[in-house]
Every structure is written in structure tokens, then in C-alpha cells.
Amino acid sequence: MTTEGLILIVANSVFWVVVSFGWGYLCHLIPFSFYNIKNPIFKKRFWELEGKLYEKVFFVKYWKDVLPEAGELIKIHPFDKKKLKSKEKSYIERFIIETCRAELVHILIFLSTPFSFLFNPPIGDYIMAAYGILANIPFIIIQRYNRIRLVKVLEKIEKKEMYKRIQRAERITLQ
């Protein structure tokens, strides 16, 4: 390997680490209110087919659990998204927020890919484009897939709460 090749490998490695942690850090500074399922970035699309697109086309169920989870690396708002740890409403709401944040981080990292073209030869551009796709799109898919499922869980919780409130109101009315 030439010195130039080694320099490019180091430069690209540093680039991706800085971009990844930089966007991760900056996205943790954005208020929770931005990470809302009604935000056009994060809202469910009809073509996602309630998550079936991710299951039937991308087979997400088979590989999503083997990818690393970095939600606790940045200590501003640490949250582990590897496993569902509770079915409490507040936990599910926070989990949904974190899927939005992770999706935004990976979108921004992916959109930073062209900046690596500034210091790479043409073959390096192709390699970095492939890396940008392979290192981010799967995580975006996972976040969108999990968010669709979590919203369904949240809706069930909210329906149960509403049903309980109606029952309480009826009991009070009957007394």
C-alpha cells in the first residue's frame, strides 16, 4: 500500500467518525418536540404499508437485531433501543422519539457522503458512496419499521386508557 493510499484510508476514517459523532451530538441538542410522528420527516408513508414493505422487501425482521445500537453512546439523552423494556406509555413515547432522532442522525450522515468526494479519487468516491448507503440506509429502515410498530402499541395503550376513563365516568354518573 502506498503512503497516499494509507493517508486516504485514515482521512476517510476520520471523516466518518467526525461526521457520525458530530451529527449524533447535534441531533441530541434538538428539543424532543421536534421528534414528532407528525413531523413530515418522520410521519408514516402510505407506501410503507404499515411496515409490511420493510418485512416483505427488505426482510428487516431477519437482520435488524444483529446491527449495533448506539443510542447510549452520546450521554446527553442516553436511550437503549436494542430491546423493548417496558410497555408503559411514557417509555413507548420516549422510544418513538428516539427512533425519530436515530433516523435523523442517519439521514444527515448519509447526506454528508458527498463531502468525502472532495478529497477522494473517483474510485474512492464510489467506495464512499457505497459506504454511505450501507452504513446508514439499514438503520433508517430499522427506525421507520420499529416506529410504525411502536405507534401501534401506543395507540392500543391510549385506547385502553380511554376505555378506562369512560368506565370511570359511567360509574360516577350512575352513583
3-state secondary structure of 80: coil
Domain ranges, ordered by start, for the chain:
3-174
- Which H or E element spans position 124? helix 122-134
- pLDDT classification of 83: cutoffs 50, 70, 90: confident
Q: Which of 73, 80, 54 is nearest to 137 (CA)?
A: 54
pLDDT, average across residues 68-79: 69
For 24, the grid coordinates are 449524533
List C-alpha distances in Å: 114 to 20, 97, 106, 132: 14, 28, 14, 9
Q: What is the arithmetic mean of pLDDT over 105-112?
A: 98
- The structure's pTM equals 0.88
Q: How many CB atoms lie within 10 A of CB 64?
A: 18
The cell numbers describing 104, all together, are 435523523
Q: Quote the CA–CA distance of 3 and 39 in Å, as a whole number.
A: 47
pLDDT, tens digit, for every residue of 4-50?
889 999 999 999 999 999 999 999 999 999 999 999 999 999 999 99
Number of neighbours of residue 71 by Cβ within 10 angstroms: 18
Binned at pLDDT 50, 70 and 90, residue 86 comes out as confident
- C-alpha 89: how far from chain center: 19
